[in-house]
């Protein structure tokens, strides 16, 4: 077990490493930082927790100094991913409140011209917003700035490379999904307002993306629809969008297994919602239930009529 004075020694390493890139380089090449990192996999749970705290502080301090480092693009994505994963393990709100520099850097990275930076930032925003606690943090601490950020993500989902489009769509799906048991009027108002920030007509935007001839994009767009399918405001939007209900029911749109599965998840989310019968109407609700019971790969039999005299 590590003695308190050893922990103080590690604290000192973190402080020295945070002074400048040169001091960090010295502490790394001399093996001092390696010693600290080794303790992260040690057997003492208390020591591990303390070392995680120290490493996190060190990374936070390095992020602060990244603006003046011309080589920061090499390590920033990895550090931001570290914080994102830490937030999932711990608590998005606590991590964001304890390390505001991390949140600031993520938002800055969305303004970058480097697709790698934008991709990591978008992934992290999706991770932080993947539960209600993270969304409440966005609403309380970030406010209208977050709505402007969503507008940028919506723009990238439409105009970026295929890979970045998919990452944007995945982040949107994570941010907008709220489990039925956690839905409140406040949260539903928030997601409805956020959704309208994505573009002038978000539903049409994602439908347009889903019609592109790339199965990965098609599935990612369907995931966005699925993420909001249990929210009454989204059901009203879908019902009032010309041709959308028919698009959902149309099995001929999907040709590969992944796409058929993704469409089935959308139908399931709608059919299992308590509000869909009232909003879509009973005939459409019954069509959804029929689709659900027939399964994702059902093919309608082609009726053959015998023609007399035909050989």
User: Among 50, 68, 86, where does a domain finish?
Assistant: 68
85 and 47 part of one domain: no
61 and 75 part of one domain: no
Q: pLDDT band at 181, cuts 50/70/90? A: very high
Residue 300 has pLDDT above 50, yes or no: yes
CA distance 185 to 180: 12
154 and 104 part of one domain: yes
Contact, 279 vs 236, CB < 8 A? yes
DSSP 172-208: HHHHH---GGG--HHHHHHHHHHHHHS-SSHHHHHHH
Whether 217 maps to a domain, the answer reads no
Q: pLDDT band at 215, cuts 50/70/90? A: very high
239 and 139 part of one domain: no
80 and 113 part of one domain: yes
Q: pLDDT band at 271, cuts 50/70/90? A: very high
Q: pLDDT band at 200, cuts 50/70/90? A: very high
Whether 208 maps to a domain, the answer reads no
User: What is the reported pTM?
Assistant: 0.83
In the prediction, which pLDDT does 32 show?
A: 77
Instruction: Pick 3 or 213 by higher pLDDT.
Output: 213
Please state, in angstroms and as integers, the Cα–Cα distance from residue 104 to each residue in 87, 97, 119, 133, 181, following that order.
Answer: 15, 11, 16, 18, 31
Whether 246 maps to a domain, the answer reads yes
61 and 137 part of one domain: no
Task: Note down the domain range covering 272.
Answer: 228-296
Query: Contacts by 44-51 with C-beta closer than 8 Å and gap 24+?
Result: 44/1, 44/2, 47/1, 47/2, 47/7, 50/7, 50/10, 51/10
83 and 159 part of one domain: yes
**Residue that is written with structure tokens 């005939």 in the block:** 283
Give the percent of the chain with pLDDT over 70.
Answer: 95
Supply the mean pLDDT for the chain: 88
Whether 307 maps to a domain, the answer reads no
User: Among 68, 90, 116, where does a domain finish?
Assistant: 68
Q: How many domains does the chain have?
A: 3
User: Exposed, middle or buried, 29 (CB in 10 Å: 0-12/13-18/19+)?
Assistant: exposed
Kindly give the residue spans of alpha helices, DSSP state H, lying in the chain.
4-17, 21-29, 32-38, 45-64, 72-89, 92-98, 100-109, 115-128, 132-137, 144-159, 162-176, 185-197, 202-210, 215-228, 232-240, 244-249, 257-271, 276-280, 282-294
82 and 56 part of one domain: no
In the prediction, which pLDDT does 141 show?
A: 78
Whether 207 maps to a domain, the answer reads no
The top-scoring range by mean pLDDT among 22-26, 76-80, 99-103, 275-279 is 275-279
In the prediction, which pLDDT does 309 show?
A: 52
User: Among 16, 49, 68, where does a domain finish?
Assistant: 68
In the prediction, which pLDDT does 1 show?
A: 47
User: Exposed, middle or buried, 27 (CB in 10 Å: 0-12/13-18/19+)?
Assistant: buried
In the prediction, which pLDDT does 4 show?
A: 60
61 and 78 part of one domain: no
What's the average model confidence in pLDDT over 187-192?
Answer: 96
86 and 191 part of one domain: yes
Q: pLDDT band at 68, cuts 50/70/90? A: confident
What's the average model confidence in pLDDT over 152-159?
Answer: 96
In the prediction, which pLDDT does 75 show?
A: 82
Residue 88 has pLDDT above 70, yes or no: yes
Residue 273 has pLDDT above 50, yes or no: yes
50 and 78 part of one domain: no
165 and 260 part of one domain: no
The top-scoring range by mean pLDDT among 84-88, 110-114, 307-311 is 110-114
Q: pLDDT band at 13, cuts 50/70/90? A: confident
In the prediction, which pLDDT does 154 show?
A: 97
Residue (of 14, 12, 13) closest to 58 by Cα position: 14
Whether 14 maps to a domain, the answer reads yes
């Amino acid at each position: 077990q590590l003695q308190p004075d050893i922990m103080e020694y590690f604290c000192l390493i973190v402080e020295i490493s945070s002074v400048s890139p040169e001091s960090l380089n010295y502490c790394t090449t001399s093996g001092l930082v390696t010693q600290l990192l080794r303790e992260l996999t040690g057997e003492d749970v208390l020591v591990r927790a303390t070392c995680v705290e120290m490493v996190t502080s060190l990374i936070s301090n390095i992020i602060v100094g990244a603006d003046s480092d011309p080589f920061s693009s090499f390590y920033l994505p990895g550090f931001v991913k570290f914080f994102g994963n830490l937030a999932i393990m711990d608590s998005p709100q606590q991590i964001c409140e304890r390390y505001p520099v991390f949140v600031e850097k993520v938002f800055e990275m969305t303004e970058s011209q480097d697709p790698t930076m934008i991709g990591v930032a978008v992934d992290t925003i999706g991770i932080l917003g993947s539960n209600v606690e993270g969304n409440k943090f966005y609403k309380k601490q970030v406010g209208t700035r977050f709505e402007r950020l969503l507008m940028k993500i919506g723009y990238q989902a439409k105009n970026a490379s295929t890979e970045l489009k998919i990452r944007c769509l995945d982040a949107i799906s994570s941010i907008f999904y709220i489990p039925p048991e956690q839905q409140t009027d406040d949260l539903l108002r928030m997601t409805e307002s956020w959704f309208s920030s994505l573009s002038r007509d978000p539903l049409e935007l994602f439908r347009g993306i889903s019609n592109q001839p790339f199965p990965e994009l098609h599935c990612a767009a369907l995931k966005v629809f699925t993420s909001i399918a249990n929210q009454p405001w989204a059901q009203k939007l879908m019902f009032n969008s010309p041709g959308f209900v028919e698009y959902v029911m149309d099995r001929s749109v999907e040709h590969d297994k992944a796409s058929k599965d993704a469409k089935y998840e959308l139908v399931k989310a709608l059919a299992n919602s308590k509000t869909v019968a009232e909003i879509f109407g009973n005939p459409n609700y019954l069509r959804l239930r029929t689709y659900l019971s027939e399964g994702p790969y059902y093919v309608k039999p082609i009726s053959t009529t015998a023609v007399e005299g035909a050989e």
